[in-house]
């Protein structure tokens, strides 16, 4: 007779309801690190954002300048640290507004139905048919590229996608028996959305938030690369790539490191998203 000892992985899963994935933990730590950098940027950056520290433009990596210098002789590391505030901050604000508005409208349309659902869906479908980059270029070029305008523009572009995703989930939940019973009890619209619909879609919605955060980071970087994002002397990571693109033929670190920063954040968010749905699903199955 042999005794089987449960593995540490199975024990951990049965105790906490999910399996700890090393890749997901590393991705979370990278995201957390960039968030800390964005918050503490003024205190940890070696130099002010616009200070010229070297007469050698596109300077190499050195002990004094670990990421080299840019086309004006400014410290690239300091500009990346300061740029994290704009890249992470603007993207986080935009995705929060887009998902809160889109998910709320999606749940409301699924519960009310009828002409309200049809009219709102057709209007937002029409917005979805416009390519996001073209719509962003038109809006920002027409109104301006201040930070509030950038946040509002990015949020407006991704509200239709959040709406369609939330509505598709909410329609299925709305057909469940417990929602029908709650409606028969005379519960109001706010209660149905808050207590009956939202708990059933919160897991997939959280995964969608992370995915749209990546889209917004990339779109913001594209706008900044075209000169319509954060304006000088401040810059997000996309603007840093754009303003130092002349050093690409020299393999200058000033254009490489901002690109690596964008890639590290977006890839880490994607890797974390890959683990998020499974963890939520495992918890729901145990419940």
* pLDDT of the residue at 190: 82
Torsion of CA 264, 268, 270, 274, to 10 degrees: 150
Q: What is the pLDDT of residues 178-228, one digit of tens each?
A: 888 888 888 888 888 888 888 888 888 888 888 899 899 988 888 888 888
Is residue 282 over pLDDT 80? no
Dig out the tokens for 254 from the structure: 């000033």
pLDDT at position 32: 93
Place of tokens 């990571």: 237
Phi first, then psi: give them for residue 64, nearest 5 degrees.
Answer: -75, -35
Residue 172, C-beta contacts closer than 8 angstroms, at least 6 positions apart: none
pLDDT number for residue 98:
94
End-to-end CA distance of the chain: 34
CATH of region 42-286, choose from 1.10.10.10, 1.10.630.10, 1.10.3720.10, 3.55.50.30: 1.10.3720.10
CA distance 232 to 225: 12
Q: How many residues does the chain have?
A: 287
Task: List Cα–Cα distances, 131 to 118, 171, 242, in angstroms.
Answer: 22, 27, 22
> How many other CB atoms are found less than 10 A from the CB of residue 259?
16
pLDDT at 14 over 70: no
Q: How far apart are CA 266 and CA 255, in angstroms?
A: 17
Beta-carbon contacts of 167 under 8 Å, excluding residues fewer than 6 positions away, are 105, 106, 107, 109, 110, 117, 121
Give the sign of the dihedral formed by CA 131, CA 132, CA 137, CA 138.
positive
Note the pLDDT of residue 185. Answer: 83
């Amino acid at each position: 007779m042999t005794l089987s000892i449960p593995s540490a992985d199975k024990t951990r899963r049965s105790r906490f309801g999910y399996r700890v994935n090393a890749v997901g933990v590393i991705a979370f730590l990278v995201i957390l690190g960039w968030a800390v950098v964005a918050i503490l940027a003024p205190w940890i950056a070696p130099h002010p954002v616009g200070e010229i520290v070297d007469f050698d433009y596109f300077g190499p990596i050195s002990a004094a300048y670990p990421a080299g210098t840019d086309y004006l002789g400014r410290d690239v590391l300091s500009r990346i640290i300061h740029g994290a505030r704009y890249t992470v901050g603007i993207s986080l604000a935009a995705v929060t507004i887009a998902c809160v508005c889109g998910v709320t409208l999606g749940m409301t349309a699924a519960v009310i139905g009828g002409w309200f659902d049809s009219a709102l869906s057709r209007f937002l479908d029409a917005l979805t048919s416009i390519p996001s980059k073209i719509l962003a270029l038109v809006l920002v070029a027409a109104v301006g590229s201040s930070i509030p305008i950038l946040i509002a523009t990015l949020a407006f572009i991704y509200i239709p996608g959040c709406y369609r995703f939330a509505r598709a989930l909410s329609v299925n939940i709305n057909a469940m028996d417990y929602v029908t019973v709650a409606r028969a009890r005379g519960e109001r619209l706010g209660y149905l959305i808050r207590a009956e619909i939202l708990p059933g879609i919160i897991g997939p919605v959280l995964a969608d938030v992370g995915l749209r955060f990546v889209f917004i980071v990339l779109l913001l970087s594209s706008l900044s690369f075209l000169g319509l994002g954060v304006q000088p002397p401040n810059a997000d990571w996309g603007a840093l790539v754009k303003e130092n693109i002349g050093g690409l033929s020299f393999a200058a670190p000033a254009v490489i490191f901002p690109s690596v920063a964008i890639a590290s954040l977006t890839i880490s968010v994607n890797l974390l998203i890959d683990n998020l749905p499974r963890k939520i699903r495992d918890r729901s199955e145990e419940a």
